[in-house]
Amino acid sequence: MQPRERILETAFTLFHKQGYNSTGINQIIADSNVAKASFYQHFKSKEDLCVEFLNKRHGFWFDRLNKFTSKSRTSKTKILASFDFLIAMNEAENFRGCSFLNLLSEIPSDNTKILNVIQRHKNDLREYFRKYLADKQLADHIYLLFESAIIESQLFKSQWPVTKSKSIVNTIIN
Amino acid sequence: MQPRERILETAFTLFHKQGYNSTGINQIIADSNVAKASFYQHFKSKEDLCVEFLNKRHGFWFDRLNKFTSKSRTSKTKILASFDFLIAMNEAENFRGCSFLNLLSEIPSDNTKILNVIQRHKNDLREYFRKYLADKQLADHIYLLFESAIIESQLFKSQWPVTKSKSIVNTIIN
DNA sequence: AAATAAATAGACAGACCTGTCTGTTTGTGA
DNA sequence: TCACAAACAGACAGGTCTGTCTATTTATTT
Protein backbone atom coordinates (compact mmCIF):
# COMPACT_ATOMS: atom_id res chain seq x y z
CA MET A 1 0.00 0.00 0.00
CA GLN A 2 1.24 3.49 -0.86
CA PRO A 3 2.31 5.90 1.91
CA ARG A 4 -0.58 8.26 1.25
CA GLU A 5 -3.13 5.51 1.74
CA ARG A 6 -1.35 4.15 4.79
CA ILE A 7 -1.54 7.59 6.37
CA LEU A 8 -5.24 7.94 5.63
CA GLU A 9 -5.90 4.46 6.94
CA THR A 10 -4.10 5.23 10.19
CA ALA A 11 -5.76 8.62 10.58
CA PHE A 12 -9.10 6.97 9.95
CA THR A 13 -8.58 4.69 12.91
CA LEU A 14 -6.88 7.08 15.32
CA PHE A 15 -8.98 10.18 14.74
CA HIS A 16 -12.12 8.21 15.36
CA LYS A 17 -10.78 6.27 18.31
CA GLN A 18 -8.83 9.00 20.15
CA GLY A 19 -10.23 12.21 18.73
CA TYR A 20 -8.55 14.85 16.60
CA ASN A 21 -6.65 16.90 19.16
CA SER A 22 -5.46 13.87 21.08
CA THR A 23 -3.90 12.36 17.97
CA GLY A 24 -0.55 13.86 16.97
CA ILE A 25 1.18 13.81 13.62
CA ASN A 26 4.05 11.88 15.18
CA GLN A 27 1.81 9.04 16.20
CA ILE A 28 0.17 8.99 12.78
CA ILE A 29 3.46 8.70 10.90
CA ALA A 30 4.84 6.15 13.35
CA ASP A 31 1.78 3.92 13.11
CA SER A 32 1.68 4.14 9.34
CA ASN A 33 5.44 3.57 8.90
CA VAL A 34 5.98 6.75 6.97
CA ALA A 35 8.62 9.45 7.21
CA LYS A 36 7.54 12.86 8.38
CA ALA A 37 8.74 14.47 5.18
CA SER A 38 6.58 12.04 3.22
CA PHE A 39 3.57 13.04 5.24
CA TYR A 40 4.01 16.72 4.45
CA GLN A 41 4.54 15.89 0.81
CA HIS A 42 1.02 14.43 0.62
CA PHE A 43 -0.81 16.66 3.09
CA LYS A 44 -0.03 20.31 3.51
CA SER A 45 -1.17 20.35 7.13
CA LYS A 46 -2.90 18.35 9.83
CA GLU A 47 -6.10 20.24 9.07
CA ASP A 48 -5.77 19.14 5.47
CA LEU A 49 -5.56 15.52 6.58
CA CYS A 50 -8.58 16.11 8.79
CA VAL A 51 -10.72 17.17 5.82
CA GLU A 52 -9.67 14.10 3.87
CA PHE A 53 -10.36 11.92 6.88
CA LEU A 54 -13.88 13.32 7.15
CA ASN A 55 -14.53 12.74 3.48
CA LYS A 56 -13.34 9.16 3.81
CA ARG A 57 -15.45 8.67 6.90
CA HIS A 58 -18.44 10.13 5.09
CA GLY A 59 -18.14 7.59 2.29
CA PHE A 60 -17.46 4.73 4.68
CA TRP A 61 -20.40 5.54 6.90
CA PHE A 62 -23.01 5.91 4.19
CA ASP A 63 -21.74 2.83 2.39
CA ARG A 64 -22.18 0.76 5.49
CA LEU A 65 -25.56 2.30 6.21
CA ASN A 66 -26.84 1.56 2.72
CA LYS A 67 -25.46 -1.95 2.81
CA PHE A 68 -27.01 -2.59 6.18
CA THR A 69 -30.45 -1.37 5.12
CA SER A 70 -30.38 -2.85 1.63
CA LYS A 71 -32.23 -5.98 2.71
CA SER A 72 -35.23 -3.92 3.80
CA ARG A 73 -37.76 -3.31 1.10
CA THR A 74 -40.21 -0.69 2.38
CA SER A 75 -39.45 2.85 3.49
CA LYS A 76 -40.55 2.07 7.00
CA THR A 77 -38.41 -1.01 7.45
CA LYS A 78 -35.46 0.78 5.88
CA ILE A 79 -35.74 3.58 8.38
CA LEU A 80 -36.13 1.24 11.30
CA ALA A 81 -33.14 -0.71 10.09
CA SER A 82 -31.14 2.52 10.15
CA PHE A 83 -31.52 2.53 13.90
CA ASP A 84 -30.36 -1.06 14.05
CA PHE A 85 -27.35 0.11 12.11
CA LEU A 86 -26.57 2.55 14.91
CA ILE A 87 -26.71 -0.26 17.42
CA ALA A 88 -24.29 -2.29 15.35
CA MET A 89 -21.92 0.66 14.99
CA ASN A 90 -22.00 1.42 18.71
CA GLU A 91 -21.16 -2.20 19.34
CA ALA A 92 -18.36 -2.26 16.79
CA GLU A 93 -16.86 1.08 17.76
CA ASN A 94 -17.38 1.09 21.51
CA PHE A 95 -19.81 4.00 21.71
CA ARG A 96 -17.38 6.52 20.33
CA GLY A 97 -20.20 8.39 18.63
CA CYS A 98 -20.10 10.43 15.45
CA SER A 99 -16.72 11.66 14.20
CA PHE A 100 -18.39 14.73 12.75
CA LEU A 101 -20.15 15.78 15.93
CA ASN A 102 -17.03 15.05 17.94
CA LEU A 103 -15.00 17.29 15.69
CA LEU A 104 -17.61 20.00 15.96
CA SER A 105 -16.75 20.26 19.65
CA GLU A 106 -13.01 20.07 19.09
CA ILE A 107 -12.50 22.79 16.53
CA PRO A 108 -12.74 26.52 17.20
CA SER A 109 -16.12 27.79 16.06
CA ASP A 110 -14.62 29.97 13.33
CA ASN A 111 -13.03 27.07 11.46
CA THR A 112 -15.36 27.21 8.47
CA LYS A 113 -13.35 24.78 6.37
CA ILE A 114 -14.03 21.84 8.66
CA LEU A 115 -17.45 23.11 9.73
CA ASN A 116 -18.58 23.01 6.10
CA VAL A 117 -17.61 19.35 5.77
CA ILE A 118 -19.52 18.52 8.94
CA GLN A 119 -22.60 20.40 7.79
CA ARG A 120 -22.48 18.70 4.41
CA HIS A 121 -22.42 15.28 6.06
CA LYS A 122 -25.42 16.05 8.23
CA ASN A 123 -27.33 17.61 5.37
CA ASP A 124 -26.85 14.37 3.47
CA LEU A 125 -28.15 12.41 6.42
CA ARG A 126 -31.16 14.68 6.66
CA GLU A 127 -31.71 14.14 2.94
CA TYR A 128 -31.40 10.38 3.46
CA PHE A 129 -34.57 10.35 5.55
CA ARG A 130 -36.38 12.81 3.29
CA LYS A 131 -35.71 10.50 0.37
CA TYR A 132 -37.96 7.84 1.86
CA LEU A 133 -40.75 10.04 3.14
CA ALA A 134 -43.11 12.39 1.35
CA ASP A 135 -43.86 14.09 4.66
CA LYS A 136 -40.80 16.32 5.14
CA GLN A 137 -41.84 17.27 8.66
CA LEU A 138 -41.89 13.62 9.62
CA ALA A 139 -38.53 13.08 7.95
CA ASP A 140 -36.98 15.88 10.00
CA HIS A 141 -38.59 14.52 13.13
CA ILE A 142 -36.89 11.20 12.50
CA TYR A 143 -33.61 12.90 11.63
CA LEU A 144 -33.66 14.70 14.98
CA LEU A 145 -34.38 11.48 16.87
CA PHE A 146 -31.61 9.75 14.96
CA GLU A 147 -29.10 12.41 15.94
CA SER A 148 -30.20 12.17 19.54
CA ALA A 149 -29.79 8.42 19.42
CA ILE A 150 -26.18 8.85 18.33
CA ILE A 151 -25.11 11.46 20.84
CA GLU A 152 -27.05 10.08 23.81
CA SER A 153 -25.82 6.54 23.38
CA GLN A 154 -22.28 7.92 23.31
CA LEU A 155 -22.99 9.92 26.43
CA PHE A 156 -24.56 7.09 28.43
CA LYS A 157 -22.47 4.34 26.81
CA SER A 158 -25.72 2.47 26.39
CA GLN A 159 -28.06 1.40 23.61
CA TRP A 160 -31.21 2.59 25.34
CA PRO A 161 -31.38 5.91 23.49
CA VAL A 162 -31.27 4.06 20.18
CA THR A 163 -33.88 1.47 21.05
CA LYS A 164 -36.11 4.15 22.54
CA SER A 165 -35.77 6.37 19.49
CA LYS A 166 -36.47 3.40 17.26
CA SER A 167 -39.64 2.49 19.11
CA ILE A 168 -40.83 6.09 18.95
CA VAL A 169 -40.17 6.18 15.23
CA ASN A 170 -42.06 2.93 14.87
CA THR A 171 -45.16 4.59 16.32
CA ILE A 172 -45.02 7.95 14.54
CA ILE A 173 -44.40 6.47 11.11
CA ASN A 174 -47.55 5.43 9.25
CA MET B 1 -13.68 39.10 44.88
CA GLN B 2 -11.43 36.34 46.17
CA PRO B 3 -8.87 34.67 43.89
CA ARG B 4 -10.68 31.38 43.91
CA GLU B 5 -13.88 32.95 42.69
CA ARG B 6 -12.08 35.03 40.10
CA ILE B 7 -10.55 31.85 38.70
CA LEU B 8 -13.90 30.08 38.55
CA GLU B 9 -15.48 33.10 36.92
CA THR B 10 -12.79 33.22 34.24
CA ALA B 11 -12.89 29.48 33.65
CA PHE B 12 -16.65 29.70 33.36
CA THR B 13 -16.31 32.16 30.49
CA LEU B 14 -13.30 30.69 28.72
CA PHE B 15 -14.14 27.00 28.92
CA HIS B 16 -17.54 27.65 27.45
CA LYS B 17 -16.35 30.08 24.80
CA GLN B 18 -13.12 28.39 23.64
CA GLY B 19 -13.50 24.84 24.85
CA TYR B 20 -11.53 22.95 27.46
CA ASN B 21 -8.42 21.89 25.55
CA SER B 22 -8.02 25.24 23.83
CA THR B 23 -7.96 27.09 27.14
CA GLY B 24 -4.65 26.95 29.01
CA ILE B 25 -3.97 27.50 32.67
CA ASN B 26 -1.75 30.44 31.77
CA GLN B 27 -4.62 32.26 30.08
CA ILE B 28 -6.92 31.53 32.99
CA ILE B 29 -4.56 32.95 35.60
CA ALA B 30 -3.68 35.94 33.42
CA ASP B 31 -7.33 36.82 32.79
CA SER B 32 -8.27 36.43 36.43
CA ASN B 33 -5.23 38.35 37.74
CA VAL B 34 -4.01 35.55 39.91
CA ALA B 35 -0.58 34.07 40.48
CA LYS B 36 0.06 30.57 39.27
CA ALA B 37 0.96 29.41 42.77
CA SER B 38 -2.37 30.72 43.99
CA PHE B 39 -4.18 28.75 41.34
CA TYR B 40 -2.59 25.48 42.43
CA GLN B 41 -3.34 26.27 46.03
CA HIS B 42 -7.06 26.27 45.26
CA PHE B 43 -7.24 23.63 42.54
CA LYS B 44 -5.05 20.56 42.51
CA SER B 45 -5.17 20.27 38.73
CA LYS B 46 -6.82 21.57 35.58
CA GLU B 47 -9.13 18.57 35.63
CA ASP B 48 -10.13 19.55 39.15
CA LEU B 49 -11.07 23.01 37.92
CA CYS B 50 -12.99 21.41 35.09
CA VAL B 51 -15.20 19.49 37.49
CA GLU B 52 -15.92 22.63 39.49
CA PHE B 53 -16.63 24.51 36.29
CA LEU B 54 -19.17 21.88 35.24
CA ASN B 55 -20.86 22.01 38.62
CA LYS B 56 -21.09 25.78 38.39
CA ARG B 57 -22.41 25.57 34.87
CA HIS B 58 -24.96 22.99 35.96
CA GLY B 59 -26.34 25.32 38.61
CA PHE B 60 -26.23 28.32 36.34
CA TRP B 61 -28.01 26.56 33.50
CA PHE B 62 -30.85 25.08 35.52
CA ASP B 63 -31.34 28.34 37.43
CA ARG B 64 -31.76 30.23 34.20
CA LEU B 65 -34.02 27.56 32.77
CA ASN B 66 -36.29 27.58 35.81
CA LYS B 67 -36.37 31.34 35.89
CA PHE B 68 -37.19 31.50 32.21
CA THR B 69 -40.05 29.02 32.45
CA SER B 70 -41.39 30.25 35.79
CA LYS B 71 -43.95 32.47 34.12
CA SER B 72 -45.59 29.50 32.45
CA ARG B 73 -48.28 27.81 34.49
CA THR B 74 -49.15 24.53 32.79
CA SER B 75 -46.87 21.61 32.08
CA LYS B 76 -47.30 22.07 28.37
CA THR B 77 -46.46 25.76 28.29
CA LYS B 78 -43.50 25.17 30.62
CA ILE B 79 -42.10 22.57 28.27
CA LEU B 80 -42.64 24.74 25.24
CA ALA B 81 -41.00 27.65 27.05
CA SER B 82 -37.97 25.42 27.63
CA PHE B 83 -37.40 25.43 23.89
CA ASP B 84 -37.70 29.21 23.84
CA PHE B 85 -35.03 29.18 26.52
CA LEU B 86 -32.74 27.35 24.12
CA ILE B 87 -33.33 30.02 21.52
CA ALA B 88 -32.43 32.72 24.01
CA MET B 89 -29.28 30.87 25.06
CA ASN B 90 -28.16 30.32 21.49
CA GLU B 91 -28.63 34.01 20.89
CA ALA B 92 -26.77 35.02 24.05
CA GLU B 93 -23.92 32.56 23.63
CA ASN B 94 -23.48 32.53 19.87
CA PHE B 95 -24.50 28.93 19.25
CA ARG B 96 -21.69 27.46 21.29
CA GLY B 97 -23.91 24.58 22.33
CA CYS B 98 -23.81 22.58 25.54
CA SER B 99 -20.63 22.67 27.63
CA PHE B 100 -21.30 19.14 28.80
CA LEU B 101 -21.71 17.66 25.35
CA ASN B 102 -18.71 19.61 24.11
CA LEU B 103 -16.58 18.20 26.90
CA LEU B 104 -17.82 14.72 26.14
CA SER B 105 -16.06 14.99 22.78
CA GLU B 106 -12.92 16.56 24.22
CA ILE B 107 -12.07 14.10 26.96
CA PRO B 108 -10.69 10.59 26.42
CA SER B 109 -13.50 8.08 26.78
CA ASP B 110 -12.00 6.51 29.89
CA ASN B 111 -12.14 9.71 31.95
CA THR B 112 -14.90 8.56 34.27
CA LYS B 113 -14.53 11.46 36.68
CA ILE B 114 -15.70 14.03 34.17
CA LEU B 115 -18.01 11.62 32.36
CA ASN B 116 -19.93 11.10 35.59
CA VAL B 117 -20.55 14.83 35.98
CA ILE B 118 -21.79 15.02 32.40
CA GLN B 119 -24.12 12.06 32.85
CA ARG B 120 -25.48 13.51 36.08
CA HIS B 121 -26.31 16.76 34.33
CA LYS B 122 -28.17 15.02 31.53
CA ASN B 123 -29.98 12.71 33.91
CA ASP B 124 -31.23 15.79 35.72
CA LEU B 125 -32.44 17.25 32.44
CA ARG B 126 -34.21 14.01 31.60
CA GLU B 127 -35.79 14.13 35.04
CA TYR B 128 -36.82 17.73 34.43
CA PHE B 129 -39.17 16.66 31.65
CA ARG B 130 -40.39 13.59 33.52
CA LYS B 131 -41.37 15.83 36.39
CA TYR B 132 -44.04 17.50 34.27
CA LEU B 133 -45.37 14.46 32.45
CA ALA B 134 -47.00 11.31 33.74
CA ASP B 135 -46.23 9.60 30.45
CA LYS B 136 -42.54 8.73 30.81
CA GLN B 137 -42.26 7.64 27.20
CA LEU B 138 -43.47 11.04 26.10
CA ALA B 139 -41.08 12.74 28.48
CA ASP B 140 -38.14 10.85 27.01
CA HIS B 141 -39.33 11.63 23.52
CA ILE B 142 -39.23 15.32 24.39
CA TYR B 143 -35.86 14.95 26.09
CA LEU B 144 -34.41 13.45 22.92
CA LEU B 145 -35.82 16.23 20.77
CA PHE B 146 -34.48 18.79 23.21
CA GLU B 147 -30.99 17.34 22.99
CA SER B 148 -31.20 17.32 19.22
CA ALA B 149 -32.28 20.93 19.25
CA ILE B 150 -29.15 21.86 21.21
CA ILE B 151 -26.61 19.98 19.15
CA GLU B 152 -28.15 20.65 15.74
CA SER B 153 -28.49 24.38 16.28
CA GLN B 154 -24.83 24.46 17.28
CA LEU B 155 -23.97 22.49 14.18
CA PHE B 156 -25.95 24.59 11.73
CA LYS B 157 -25.54 27.84 13.65
CA SER B 158 -29.24 28.31 13.18
CA GLN B 159 -32.41 28.28 15.27
CA TRP B 160 -34.35 26.05 12.89
CA PRO B 161 -33.68 22.84 14.80
CA VAL B 162 -35.08 24.44 17.94
CA THR B 163 -38.20 25.88 16.34
CA LYS B 164 -38.80 22.62 14.50
CA SER B 165 -38.39 20.56 17.64
CA LYS B 166 -40.67 22.90 19.48
CA SER B 167 -43.41 22.63 16.88
CA ILE B 168 -43.14 18.83 16.93
CA VAL B 169 -43.41 18.83 20.70
CA ASN B 170 -46.43 21.09 20.43
CA THR B 171 -48.21 18.46 18.35
CA ILE B 172 -47.24 15.32 20.29
CA ILE B 173 -48.08 16.77 23.68
CA ASN B 174 -51.73 16.45 24.67
C1' DA C 1 23.54 2.44 -16.75
C1' DA C 2 22.33 7.07 -15.76
C1' DA C 3 18.96 10.32 -14.27
C1' DT C 4 15.04 11.56 -11.92
C1' DA C 5 11.59 11.06 -8.55
C1' DA C 6 9.93 9.38 -4.16
C1' DA C 7 10.57 7.67 0.23
C1' DT C 8 13.51 7.21 4.21
C1' DA C 9 15.46 8.71 9.15
C1' DG C 10 15.64 11.93 12.30
C1' DA C 11 17.43 16.43 14.02
C1' DC C 12 15.71 20.87 14.82
C1' DA C 13 13.07 25.32 15.57
C1' DG C 14 9.66 27.58 17.90
C1' DA C 15 5.80 27.43 20.24
C1' DC C 16 2.76 25.60 23.41
C1' DC C 17 1.31 22.99 27.65
C1' DT C 18 0.89 21.59 33.01
C1' DG C 19 2.70 21.68 37.27
C1' DT C 20 6.64 22.88 40.74
C1' DC C 21 9.50 25.85 42.89
C1' DT C 22 11.83 30.10 45.01
C1' DG C 23 11.47 34.23 46.92
C1' DT C 24 8.89 38.59 47.84
C1' DT C 25 5.05 41.33 49.17
C1' DT C 26 0.69 42.12 51.27
C1' DG C 27 -2.82 41.67 54.72
C1' DT C 28 -4.68 40.27 59.24
C1' DG C 29 -5.15 39.09 63.95
C1' DA C 30 -2.88 38.65 68.53
C1' DT D 1 4.75 45.30 66.78
C1' DC D 2 5.25 40.69 65.70
C1' DA D 3 3.87 36.44 63.61
C1' DC D 4 1.60 33.91 60.37
C1' DA D 5 -0.96 33.06 56.38
C1' DA D 6 -2.18 34.22 51.83
C1' DA D 7 -1.31 36.10 47.45
C1' DC D 8 2.07 37.80 44.52
C1' DA D 9 5.69 37.46 40.29
C1' DG D 10 7.88 34.67 37.45
C1' DA D 11 11.60 31.31 36.40
C1' DC D 12 11.99 26.59 35.47
C1' DA D 13 11.54 21.52 34.38
C1' DG D 14 9.92 18.26 31.40
C1' DG D 15 6.92 17.21 28.23
C1' DT D 16 3.95 17.96 24.16
C1' DC D 17 2.86 19.70 19.59
C1' DT D 18 3.27 21.13 14.25
C1' DG D 19 6.00 21.95 10.61
C1' DT D 20 10.82 22.51 8.26
C1' DC D 21 15.08 20.96 7.09
C1' DT D 22 19.22 18.07 5.67
C1' DA D 23 20.99 14.15 3.93
C1' DT D 24 20.63 9.38 2.56
C1' DT D 25 18.46 5.46 0.38
C1' DT D 26 15.28 3.16 -2.60
C1' DA D 27 12.44 2.83 -7.05
C1' DT D 28 11.33 3.83 -11.42
C1' DT D 29 11.93 5.36 -16.04
C1' DT D 30 14.39 6.53 -20.00
- Mean of per-residue pLDDT scores for chain A: 97
pLDDT in tens, B69-84: 999 999 999 999 999 9
Whether the CB-CB separation of B83 and B169 falls below 8 Å is answered with: yes
Q: What's the confidence (pLDDT) of residue B174? A: 84
Encode pLDDT of B141-160 as tens digits: 999 999 999 999 999 999 99
**What would the mean pLDDT of B72-99 be, rounded to a whole number?**
98
What 8-state DSSP symbol labels residue B155?
Answer: H
The predicted model gives B9-23 an average pLDDT of 97
Interatomic CA–C1' length for residue A55 and nucleotide D28, angstroms: 31
Whole-angstrom Cα distance, residue A57 to residue A72? 24
pLDDT for residue A25 is more than 90: yes
Cβ contact B99:B16 at 8 Å: yes
Q: With the C-alpha atoms ordered A39, A42, A48, A50, is the resulting torsion angle positive or negative?
A: negative
pLDDT bin (cut points 50, 70, 90) of residue B170 is: very high
> Residue B158 CB closer than 7 angstroms to strand C?
no
The whole model's pTM is what?
0.97
Residue-level pLDDT at A174: 84
- Burial classification of residue A1, based on how many CB atoms lie within 10 Å of its CB (0-12 exposed, 13-18 middle, 19 or more buried): exposed
What's the half-sphere exposure (Cβ side, CA atoms, 13 Å) at B77? 7
Q: Which of residues 39-78 of A touch strand D (CB under 7 A)?
A: 40, 45-47
Chain B CB contacts of A148 under 8 Å are 144-145, 147-148
Contacts of B173 (CB under 8 A, 6+ apart): B76, B79, B138, B142
